[in-house]
Amino acid sequence: MMMVMVMRRIRVMMEVLMMIMMVMTMMTMMMMMIMTMMMMYSGILITSTPWDRKNVLTLSKIDVIITPHSSSSSSSSSSSSSSSSSSSSSSTSSSSSAGCSRSSNVVAVVIVVVVVVAVVVVVVAVVVVEVVVVVVVVVVVVVVVVAVVVVVVVVVVVVVVAVVVLVVVVVKQQH
């Protein structure tokens, strides 16, 4: 009777453990899906070409188109000076836009790193919790089984000792 109760409790505990493991696995899968979507979005941010970079390319094309239109020497000198000033302004704008695109790329890389670290931390935490729950349940089951075995052994020993004592008493009374 006692063994049946213990086995029933062990079965209930194992069912609860399986339900907890299923819930944690579903939570892990959902977190992985969310983090994968975030990583894909961050990758799109990294690979996309910023608008200011396109603007700089068009400005440099305009500068290239403007510079060949020189007719006289004075106009050519003035146009060369204007082209040099425009090229310097385009170089400054390109450097500033490169700085902006570089900073946006750095921000996107930081976002990806944070997302990857968050995924790793969540997965490790869930795995650790599952392992701890499994270890606790296994320890509890082992303790319960050992206690039941000890109780059964003690009961058997007591019954055997009582039977031996009764046999000895009966034998002595017959003599």
**What span, in angstroms and rounded, lies between the C-alpha atoms of 3 and 16?**
20
Cβ atoms 52, 102 nearer than 8 A: no
Sort residue 97 into left (φ over 0), alpha (ψ -120 to 50) or beta: alpha
Cβ atoms 80, 70 nearer than 8 A: yes
Listed by start position, the domains of the chain span 2-148
Q: What is the pTM of this model?
A: 0.40
Q: What is the pLDDT of residues 2-34, one digit of tens each?
A: 667 777 777 787 787 778 777 877 877 777 777
Q: What is the pLDDT of residues 159-168, one digit of tens each?
A: 899 889 888 8
Which range has highest mean pLDDT (22-26, 88-92, 147-151)?
147-151
